[in-house]
Amino acid sequence: MKKTIQNILVIASVITTAGFLLDGDAKEPNVLMRFVEYILMLAIIFTIIAGFYFGIKALTKRLPLSK
């Protein structure tokens, strides 16, 4: 479980970094605000990916697989 969460965090950080670098909007002059935006984007993307992953995992565990 720890390895799975760590992998999801790495994927979320790559997506967040790419999105932050590719963003065309003007950047905030305040460095603290940039860190807050990055951390909040990371938390949102991590939550979405983890929700999909663990939701699908729970659904496939409950469904009977035909052999």
User: Each residue of 17-40: pLDDT tens digit?
Assistant: 999 889 877 777 888 988 999 999
Task: Work out the pLDDT band at 7, boundaries 50, 70, 90.
Answer: very high
Average pLDDT, the chain: 90
2: left (phi over 0), alpha (psi -120 to 50) or beta: alpha
Tell whether the model's pLDDT for residue 67 goes beyond 60. no
Confidence at residue 64, expressed as pLDDT on a 0 to 100 scale = 78
pTM greater than 0.85: no
